[in-house]
Amino acid sequence: SAPLTNESDELYNAPVTLGNGQSFLLDLDTGSSDTWFRGPNCKSSDQSCGVSGQSAVKTSDSTLSSTGLTWTTSYGSGSVGGKVYKGPVQMAGLSASISFGVSTSETGFSGVGDGLMGLAYASISNIASAGASNTNWIDALNLANNEFAFYLSNGKDKTDSGEVTIGGTDPSKYTGSFNYIPLNSQTYWQMSWVGAKWAAGSTSGALDGSVKSFIADTGTTLIILDNAAADGINKAIGASAYSSSTGAYAIDCTKSSTGSPFTLTLNGVKYSIPASVYVLDNGDGTCVSGVTRGATESTVGILGDIFLRQYYSVYDKANARVGFALAVHPGSSTTATPTTTSTAKSSTTSSTSTKTTSTSTKTTSTSTKTTSSPTTSTTSSSCAHSICSTGAKLTSSCDPCAAQIIAQDSFCGSNSWDSVCVGEVASICGITC
């Protein structure tokens, strides 16, 4: 396995080697499909292209070759574009030659990392849509045990170390058996919400109201639900009403230690999320809930890092499914194992995977401490600029975060969203993703 560096519980970065020994920090993102590194000629207006001392690709490396192609990918928090190269990418001792991006422009990336590796399916890769082949690092490895797994550390505990494992799981990082949920689309790591429920105290509701699918996304910080479910959970846990100006639900910071948990029932299995996990400290004496709005009937719900820190996750390509088991953090109790209800499917099994190796990468965050997944446009142009401009008719191929922008037209007083508004959501529209 390879270590993941926790950046304020928002980003998880890990070392990646490109070509002939070039070292980078990248954010491993299960909610996107393009791999890219910062380029030597990158331009940005917000320091997205890095500050002094951060790495950039040396394209003169003899092991790298230009494809002559260009690409762009749009994320809810920004965008990136540049030139497409081929070459060896190595993580935790595993190496494969793939097509990847070298950025010439970046917007909305303010972390310490040097790029991003998308671990969703190649079917939604914008680099592949631009004409490149062999864009998915996991696929290129040809693993005998075709899966990878994440343990996300708790930033409050400096002794806690995150890791990602390729080709198996690390049994020391979870307890109990995996509860597997089959994919309903091999695009994102996407599963069905149908029959899913939430509960907090004596209050409960459906998760499959206007949104019928959800994804497991290491590149998004929050749990993103439709309005009804997000409002219901936040009211039940004692958060304030949703603020359209911040895109978040404020909550008393003391609830981190005094608040009650809420549960999500997925595929018949109950997953408990304690207050210590869902109360996020802004660092200025205020806190927000880790559950927010943003999923619409044309998009998907998202289980981001709030959920994935509590539950170890394994992404099983061989069997097209995602598995969750209670994560074991330093000093944590291992008694709150997910429980199976009488409606559970027959997908709960014990993992027989063996521990192996891997690594991770970078994305950006907003004031609600979340990152975003990219668009899935089938062209090299960004979804936010080409598809999302259709306003209320936003299609499911668009980024869930961009969908949130489109759905709240009142922020900019228009149904037509240009690239500036999409690229600078936080400052112009007051919407965070």
Active site residues: 29, 217
4 Rama sector, left if φ>0, alpha if ψ -120 to 50, beta otherwise:
beta
How far apart are alpha carbons 182 and 408 in whole angstroms? 32
**Of 145, 196, 149, 160, whose CA–CA distance to 322 is shortest?**
149
Q: Are strands 213-216 and 162-166 parallel, antiparallel or unpaired?
A: unpaired
Helices (H) and strands (E) in the chain, counts: 9, 27
One-letter amino acid at 124 equals I
Residues 54, 233: Cα–Cα separation, whole Å: 41
Tell me how far CA of residue 61 lies from CA of 4, 85, 88, 361, in angstroms. 27, 11, 11, 21
The phi and psi torsions of 33 (rounded to 5 degrees) equal -130, 5
Please give the helix or strand (H or E) that residue 97 lies within, else none: strand 94-107
Distance CA 184, CA 371 (A): 24
Q: At 191, list the tokens.
A: 């599963």
**Cβ atoms of residues 108 and 419 within 8 Å:** no
How many Cα atoms are found within 13 Å in the side-chain-facing hemisphere of 104? 10
Which of 152, 157, 147 minimizes the C-alpha distance to 317? 147
CA distance 16 to 359: 7
Closest to 234 measured CA to CA, from 316, 306, 151, 338? 306
- DSSP code, position 392: G
Phi, psi (rounded to 5 degrees) for 428: -95, -50
Q: What is the 8-class DSSP label of residue 243? A: B
